[in-house]
Amino acid sequence: MISFSSFYKQISDSSLQHWLETLPSILGQWQREHKHGSLPKWEKVLNKLHYPEADIIDFKTSVKIGSGEQLSDGEREKLENLLAIFKPWRKGPYSLHGVEIDTEWRSDWKWERVVPHISPLQNRTVLDVGCGSGYHMWRMLGEGAKHVVGIDPSPLFMCQFEAVKRIAGNDHPVHFLPLGIEELPALDAFDTVFSMGVLYHRRSPIDHIYQLRDQLRTGGELVLETLVIDGDENTVLVPKDRYGKMNNVWFLPSVDALMLWLKKCDFTDIRCVDVDVTSLAEQRSTQWMPNESLVDYLDPNDVSLTVEGYPAPKRATIIATKNQPNKDLI
Ligand SMILES: Nc1ncnc2c1ncn2[C@@H]1O[C@H](C[S@+](CC[C@H]([NH3+])C(=O)[O-])CC(=O)[O-])[C@@H](O)[C@H]1O
């Protein structure tokens, strides 16, 4: 069974103390809800992941754990087969004792676009909302963060994260909690909060921005990355049905609309630091994610459009600072 004890041990002296009292029952409930799905099978696989302390660990320029020289060919093949049970691997890439997990997404490319613009993470407490397999959490640690907490309700992503953590060693101050953002109380605690690739999945984007704001200390930094469209501050696309074959896409604002939303939610120093059309090289099918990918979501005759005729995915990164609350707006 997945244990959250190292989370409690490492976080217990922090300003998050009051939250920790309610967490065990929430996490216990999550485990009970998933006990009839694939989770028990995945937990058995996790329990087989025992490896020597890695000779090399790099989180600064990639996520690489172990040079590969510590395992025999047979041991490496066994590791590869165990990790394959957690397919599809969407977010990465990872290099784990010589096993190269070529994921659907080049999440490292997103990180390289974002990291030059954020406040240095050195010694900061960080929350990554919708962290997926946790790829960016390791990179946050590589930038010197003191503690990284990721939340994501997906049991598969949790197990992928746990697999990497078991190989990296349990002492790293990085923790995954299987929660949705709506399950967090207002913690007012984190120095930096990331929400990357989540806002368009939320039915109420302004509430999402408030929920993110509630996790930050005053003066803390929000890093918000989401799908955008071209237009002015009143332009927002709400897809009629699917967007890029996804049935859970709600609001795609223009950059100016998004900046207005952040202003209205009492953020200051709001700036758009990157806008990027997702390339077919950044999101594609691989051996580790053999299902459909971006090329199948775009119009085969015009890749500037999705199969539904909407603008193809374009992502913006906005950075903003939490201000003192303006009581009139709440
Ligand atoms: N209510 C919720 N609360 C928290 N997370 C959620 C919720 N609902 C869905 N998610 C999670 O949000 C993530 C969105 S992916 C971004 C991954 C990473 N951040 C990336 O930037 O590559 C989208 C993308 O591929 O862009 C998924 O892992 C969901 O399980």
Ligand 1 pocket test: pick from 86, 151, 198 the residue with the most ligand atoms within 8 Å of its Cβ: 198
Q: In sequence order, what are the residues at sequence separation of 6 or more whose Cβ sits closer than 8 angstroms to the Cβ of residue 1?
A: 31, 43
Q: What is the pLDDT of residue 22?
A: 79
180 C-alpha to center of ligand 1: Å? Answer: 9
Distance CA 17, CA 95 (A): 35
Whose alpha carbon is nearest atom 25 of ligand 1? 197
User: pLDDT for 24-36, tens place per residue?
Assistant: 888 888 888 988 8
Q: Which amino acid is at 106?
A: R
Cis status, amide bond into 88, omega within 30 of 0: yes
**Tokens standing for 145?**
């963060």
Distance CA 313, CA 276 (A): 9
**Tokens standing for 179?**
């929660």
Q: In sequence order, what are the residues at sequence separation of 6 or more whose Cβ sits closer than 8 angstroms to the Cβ of residue 28?
A: none
ipTM above 0.85, yes or no: yes
Burial (CB count within 10 angstroms: exposed 0-12, middle 13-18, buried 19+), residue 124: buried
132 lines ligand 1 (CB under 6 A): yes
130 C-alpha to center of ligand 1: Å? Answer: 4
- Res 276 pLDDT > 70: yes
Distance CA 213, CA 224 (A): 11
Was 166 annotated as part of a binding site?
no
Distance CA 305, CA 138 (A): 33
Ligand 1 pocket test: pick from 118, 152, 293 the residue with the most ligand atoms within 8 Å of its Cβ: 152
Was 196 annotated as part of a binding site?
yes
- Res 19 pLDDT > 80: no
User: pLDDT for 86-135, tens place per residue?
Assistant: 999 999 999 999 999 999 999 999 999 999 999 999 999 999 999 999 99
